[in-house]
Structure 1
Amino acid sequence: MDLAEEVAMTAVNMWSEATFVAAVGDAVWAPSIHNSQPWRFRRTSDGIDVLVDRRRGLPVCDPDGRAARVSCGAAAYNLRLALAVAGAPAAWTAGTGDALVHLVPGSRRPATPLERSLHRQILRRHTNRSPFADVRVEPGIMVQLAEAAGDEGGWLHLVDGVPALETVALLTRKADAQLRADPAYVAELRQWTLVADDDVQGIGRHACGAAPHDAELMTRRDFGGPAQEVTRDPTPHPVIAVLGFHGEYRVHDVQSGMVLQRVLLRAADLGLASAMYSQPVEVPAVREQLRLALHRAYAPQLVLRFGYAPTTCYTNRRPVEDVID
């Protein structure tokens, strides 16, 4: 038996069909823009591929597929966690073609306590579109989130101080207004929102949150929800951070997704709610303004909010059999 055959046999022995299917069942709970779920999974002779499903792309708000690559990276991180907790961890490399990530077996070992803790959060983590409570997030918690980003090779920039916060809020509002001025963007958004609550894709009525209002500091995307009774943010100084990676090639988008998911799971593990604002990175000119405002060498991938909020309705996911090649 040559080396290639031995590696392939190791993969088969480590990842049974049941292990693979269970890991994919965890992978699909990654976040994706409009809950479009742009991923597929395929067993190969020597491992597992995570592929981008181009049929589920968003041509208006994600014309080059950047957000889809980020989402596939987040799904790949869940897959890695699930395999590690199963005692069959994986190493990964960049894939080829539509395969963004290729996983190969690593050395068998027990999962670490942190891996187990993060894995428990996969089904608990969700994007929170409800108002956040006016409760202070301790600085030490944000340090831990920044460390989580760094452990995956990325960065998490805490937006510190009122002037910086107002700048990020202004850029978010500016980008959101530009996007909403495009009828094609609005039509695409409506295609994926206000779907039935039992639909396996898109943003259902119970998960869309209330409609945004002009008094909000951080402008949320309008998913068509009902008007709010409270017309101001209860938190005068929300905890806002910007996530990115040290690079701007396509593989770095995938790695940014791994960074994102690790940060989101760590936040959930620490008891935090999280919300995402992708509008500023969907408009190229605004994304560049945000990069300059942060004094970063590379463009940001996502604006995040952390804090405390009640659990809201989760979005659904497609059945595992629908995402496996």
Structure 2
Amino acid sequence: MTIALTLTDTAFRDVVAAAVRAPSLHNSQPWRFRNHDGAIEVHADPARRLPVADPTGWALRIACGAATLNARLALAAMGLAARVQLLPDPDDPTLLARLTPTTAWQATPAEEALFAAVERRFSNREPFYPAPVPVHAHVQIIDAAHAEGAWAEIIHGPASVEVVSEIVRAADAALTADSAYQTELRTWTRPDRDDRDGVPAPAAGSAPQPDDLLPRRAYGGHEPSPGGDFDPDPLVVVLGTAADTPAQQLQAGLALQRVLLTITDAGLAASMLSQPIENRTERDGLRLALGRAGVPQMVLRVGTGRAGFPTPRRDLAEVIDEG
């Protein structure tokens, strides 16, 4: 029988402060947290699900899975091991994860490094330098995905990247032509950097250009400076899972965050390209192009980044349910 350890309110809030640093589509932050019966509960916030971009809740579950990984690392850093249950209560569909501290724990060097990267991780939408990503980082990315029950496919070299690029461009074109999608996107584009959610202009990077190899969303970014073209031969990572159930999507969120923190700890930068995952046709095309079993859950661009800007987070009082 597992006996839960008592978590103080201060410790709970510290865990939530780390959890909310996870990424989410359009920085929508679709989560809520509760300290209940000795466990930390991660709940979906249905009011923050994106009805056009995320009609199935896939992106919401990815985000909450990533928040769960951050919470687990925060507990380890506090000296606590935790039992993590995904979808623990069939009668409560909003309860996506439960973390129960069970015993004292000495954080491993890997856990300490990943936790230290939580505050430094953010999506970098600026151009990357042409320097190649070291081969050892490829291995670390693959290992990070495997550690959380997912897989990572490394795509590099002009020919291979071009195949993925065509899929990303097709998906982006379809979403750009969708007026409802674009209207929703604009509601999460924040010209005022004082907003606590959405993507503010400083974090938007440079404005998308027609000849970009890997299209980015138009979050109101600045015009690119001369010589600021995007990297012509980026490292692309496709993250996937064996299946596409809600539980596997949550698992993909844990793996995504571990991969992103691993990239950050290695001194590299990353941005997410979810357009081909949001479009069913292009998602199937990506799966076929990879020629492997499983379901793609995210596409990442990885490299050595120029200076970027993190997105803001809401106050903890807005995401914590008392009682």
TM-score normalised by the chain length of structure 1: 0.94
Per-residue deviation at 1:293?
A: 0.4
| Corresponding position of 1:57 | 49
- Alignment root-mean-square deviation, CA: 1.4
1:92 corresponds to = 84
Percent of residue pairs bearing the same amino acid type? 42
**Quick one: distance in 2 between partners of 1:85 and 1:231?**
42
Task: Measure, in 2, the Cα distance between the counterparts of 1:83 and 1:186.
Answer: 39
1:149 counterpart (129, 137, 145): 145
Tell me how far 1:223 sits from its aligned partner. Answer: 1.1
> Within the alignment, does 1:259 sit opposite 2:251 as a pair?
no
1:24 aligns with 2:23: no
Query: Map of 1:1-325 to 2, 5 A cutoff?
Result: 7=3, 10-12=4-6, 15-95=7-87, 96=89, 97-230=93-226, 233-325=229-321
Instruction: Give 1:278's aligned amino acid.
Output: S
Residue identity matched to 2:182: V
CA distance in 2, matches of 1:178, 1:231: 29
CA apart distance, 1:235: 2.5
8 Å Cα contact 1:274/1:307 also seen in 2: yes
Deviations 1:132-175 (A, max 9, x none): 00111111111111111111111110113332211110110100
Partner amino acid for 2:273?
Y
| Runs of 4+ residues over 4 Å off in structure 1 | none
Output one character per residue of 1:209-250: Cα deviation in whole Å (capped at 9) or x when no partner: 111102211111111223223477452211001001122110
For residues 155 and 231 of structure 1, the distance between their equivalents in structure 2, rounded to whole angstroms, comes to 35
State the aligned residue count: 317
* Structure 2 unaligned spans of 5+: none
Q: d(CA) in 1 for partners of 2:254 and 2:230?
A: 31
* CA distance in structure 1 between the partners assigned to 2:292 and 2:246 by the alignment: 18
Taking a change above 3 Å as real, the CA distance of residues 140 and 162 of structure 1, as seen in their structure-2 partners, is same
- Greater mean deviation of Cα atoms: 200-209 or 219-228: 219-228
Q: Which amino acid aligns with 1:242?
A: V
Unpaired segments of 5 or more residues in structure 1? none
Q: Is the 8 A contact 2:212 2:230 kept in 1?
A: no
Partner secondary structure for residue 140 of structure 2: helix
- Is contact 1:215–1:231 with CA below 8 Å preserved after alignment? no
Matched to 2:5, the amino acid is A
